[in-house]
């Protein structure tokens, strides 16, 4: 079972999750991409309930803030994971969104608060057990500095591309590599 964890202000129905769902469904590999609450503890509670409810091997794919959640859950439950342009310190990078934050999926908004920022900081991640991790980065990410992820996870398997963007332009080129890493 592969669980995809979307980023800040996104949805389990976003572009990347839809592409991944289509690919893994075509391979008969169970795949889910829940639409998570913007409230960090609720999002992580939902994900932990999912992980604990499936009586099969779980692997994770996370993007941006979802990459942070993925890293946290991967370490807590000893799961293989793919991190796509992950946020390593979202409690810093998401500070500018305090107030009315945009939902990038449907153009609505939600209230993002300093309490949410503090909540994110309470979920500790460390650079341990990097062999279970694949890091996918594009240097052209306009939202996050790719080098911070490289510096934090130097021993993870790396795919680093010039140019690109935060959503990881052309990700479909790597679906087979993602599958081989997670399922192989």
User: 73: helix, coil or strand?
Assistant: helix
Closest CA to 86 of 167, 12, 22: 167
Residue spans per domain, the chain: 2-183
User: 28: helix, coil or strand?
Assistant: coil
Instruction: Give the side-chain half-sphere CA count within 13 A for 75.
Output: 15
Rounded Cα distance, 147 and 85, in Å: 10
List, for residues 73-113, the tens digit of each pLDDT value.
999 999 999 999 999 999 999 999 999 887 877 778 889 99
pLDDT range class, residue 125, cuts 50, 70, 90: very high
Mean pLDDT of the chain: 94
List, for residues 10-55, the tens digit of each pLDDT value.
889 888 999 999 999 999 999 999 999 999 999 999 999 999 999 8
Rounded Cα distance, 4 and 167, in Å: 14
Residue 129: per-residue pLDDT: 85
Residue 55: per-residue pLDDT: 80
> In DSSP terms, which residues pair with 110 in a beta bridge?
101
| pTM assigned to the model | 0.94
The CATH number, out of the four listed (3.40.50.1820, 1.10.3470.10, 3.30.420.10, 3.30.1360.100), of the domain defined by the range 2-183: 3.40.50.1820
Residue 180: per-residue pLDDT: 96
Residue 56: per-residue pLDDT: 86
At residue 150, does pLDDT exceed 90? yes
Residue 25: per-residue pLDDT: 97
Give the angle 51-149-125 at the CA atoms, nearest 5°.
45
Token pair, residue 122, equals: 């309470």
Residue 9: per-residue pLDDT: 87
Backbone CA torsion sign across 110, 3, 124, 134 = negative
Percentage of the chain lying above the pLDDT 70 cut: 100
């Amino acid at each position: 079972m592969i669980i995809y964890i979307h980023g800040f202000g996104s949805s389990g129905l976003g572009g990347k999750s839809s592409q991944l769902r289509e690919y893994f469904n075509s391979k008969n590999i169970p795949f889910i991409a829940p639409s998570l609450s913007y409230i960090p503890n609720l999002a992580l509670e939902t994900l932990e309930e999912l992980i604990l409810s499936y009586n099969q091997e779980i692997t994770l794919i996370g993007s941006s803030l979802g990459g942070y959640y993925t890293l946290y859950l991967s370490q807590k439950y000893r799961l293989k994971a793919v991190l796509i342009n992950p946020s390593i310190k979202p409690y810093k990078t998401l500070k500018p969104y305090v107030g009315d934050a945009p939902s990038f999926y449907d153009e609505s908004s939600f209230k993002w608060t300093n309490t949410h920022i503090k909540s994110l900081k309470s979920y500790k991640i460390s650079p341990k057990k990097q062999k279970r991790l694949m890091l996918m980065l594009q240097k052209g990410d306009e939202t996050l500095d790719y080098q911070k992820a490289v510096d934090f996870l130097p021993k993870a398997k790396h795919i680093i591309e010039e140019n690109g963007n935060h959503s990881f332009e052309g990700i479909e080129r790597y679906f087979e590599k993602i599958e081989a890493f997670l399922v192989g």
